[in-house]
Amino acid sequence: LRIGVPKETVALEKRVATVPDVVEKLVKLGFSVAVESGAGDAANFSDETYRSAGAEIVPTAAALWSTSDIVFKVRPPSPEEVGLLREGATLIGFVWPAQNPELMQQLAARKVTVLAIDALPRQLSRAQKMDALTSMAGVSGYRAVIEAANAFGRFFNGQITAAGKIPPAKVFVAGAGVAGLAAIGTAANLGAIVRANDTRAEVADQVVSLGGEFVKVDYEEEGSGGGGYAKVMSEGFQQAQREMYAKQAKESDIIITTALIPGKPAPKLITAEMVQSMKPGSVIVDMAGEQGGNCELTEPGQAVVKHGVTIIGYTDLVSRLAKQSSTLYSNNLLRLAEELCKTKDGVIHVNMDDDAIRGLTVIKDGAITWPAPPIKMA
């Protein structure tokens, strides 16, 4: 079968779903690979490198989509792209079925099969190699620290030099999921003093293992909402959390917020008053911008200075590291392709008896199969 890799069309999106190294591996699995001309440009992969890896370069999106049996994408397709998808084809990429009911209907009407990488059952250890949410969150957490360091006027690490003694920067990370843990590790590696908080107590050990200190909210309430995700906390907890965060804001040079609750707006953790209490020159990177932000003063997509504090709400952190994120994402899709093509003959088999494959199959031959039934863990 022929795998097609179109150029991404969403503004600011610089990733590409397949990098040249992965093209070679897909060819070894028996597929032919076509790449739209310029698809990898923004991530620094030229048409020439794709050609050398064994891909055919196709001049237009229309030619690419209409001749592909399988399309590898990053972002959910636009209505125009859906219109180009050929009947019976398989689309693999981010889809977000809960947020995109109309797109799901349009795709189903095309009589295609859709594997949504965001619907992967992440709790299966077998699925980890395909977990693009995790790999992308890792990239954004790293990049958030780099953005903070770029906007911050001082070193992260403490230094004793002939020109003076410099204290280490103090970083506070709100939310220690995948992105938060990546931010903690990166900031600690740069030499900062890192503290972090999460409503799920189970992450405390992970924070410590990455070189951070876990700061607890002085209020007994378990924050797990099932499946490793968070829940909305009680008003009492939120009040106690605000008091603790107010103290951290005053003491911190940099705050990185990553807190999300599935299906809910991002919790507001950093108030305008807390921003005002921070030292001039401090930096907040709010990674929850797309879900409304964790900080009251965040402007999603923008970097703004308020009360002397730079508040970064970029929503394209992964695209700011496009070569790295494309490489990791395309490795996730390669692992999925291997699962779908165990026979290594360039043919895919969507096995609905396999929990991992069942979970991410959101449309099968035009029939909506999302949401998948819950998995019974042994």
- Residues engaged in binding ligand NAD (CB under 6 A): 122-123, 125, 128, 131, 133-134, 137, 174-180, 197-200, 203, 228-230, 233, 258-262, 267, 269
Taking each helix axis from N to C terminus, what angle separates 178-189 and 132-151, rounded to the nearest 10 degrees?
A: 40
Nearer Cβ to ligand NAD (233/275): 233
Residue nearest to ligand NAD (CB): 177
Instruction: Identify whether the C-beta of residue 162 lies closer than 8 Å to the C-beta of residue 184.
Output: no
Distance in Å, CB of 295 to ligand NAD, minimum: 13
Nearer Cβ to ligand NAD (162/378): 378
Nearer Cβ to ligand NAD (53/254): 254
Instruction: Identify whether the C-beta of residue 230 lies closer than 8 Å to the C-beta of residue 258.
Output: no
Nearer Cβ to ligand NAD (72/245): 245
Complete DSSP assignment for 264-320: SPPP--B-HHHHHHSPTT-EEEETTGGGT-SBTT--TT-EEEETTEEEE--S-TTGG
**Tokens representing 195?**
């503290």
Nearer Cβ to ligand NAD (219/229): 229
Distance in Å, CB of 77 to ligand NAD, minimum: 23
Nearer Cβ to ligand NAD (17/178): 178
Question: Which residues of the chain form beta strands (DSSP E)?
Answer: 2-5, 32-36, 56-58, 70-72, 90-93, 113-116, 159-161, 164-166, 170-174, 193-197, 213-214, 254-257, 283-286, 303-306, 309-312, 361-364, 367-368
> Which residues is 71 bridged to in the sheet?
4, 91
CA atoms within 13 A on the CB side of 46: 3
Distance in Å, CB of 217 to ligand NAD, minimum: 8
Distance in Å, CB of 133 to ligand NAD, minimum: 6
Distance in Å, CB of 194 to ligand NAD, minimum: 15
Nearer Cβ to ligand NAD (85/178): 178
CA–CA separation, 305 vs 237, rounded Å? 30
Instruction: Identify whether the C-beta of residue 36 lies closer than 8 Å to the C-beta of residue 17.
Output: no
Distance in Å, CB of 290 to ligand NAD, minimum: 11
CA–CA separation, 70 vs 61, rounded Å? 14
Nearer Cβ to ligand NAD (81/286): 286
Nearer Cβ to ligand NAD (68/135): 135
Distance in Å, CB of 221 to ligand NAD, minimum: 11
Distance in Å, CB of 56 to ligand NAD, minimum: 35
Q: Which of 157, 205, 165 is nearest to 181 (CA)?
A: 205
Question: Which residues of 149-212 form beta strands (DSSP E)?
Answer: 159-161, 164-166, 170-174, 193-197
Cis peptide before 371 (omega within 30 of 0): yes
Amino acid at 71: V
Nearer Cβ to ligand NAD (68/134): 134
Distance in Å, CB of 255 to ligand NAD, minimum: 12
Region of 7 please: left (phi>0), alpha (psi -120 to 50) or beta.
beta
Distance in Å, CB of 214 to ligand NAD, minimum: 11
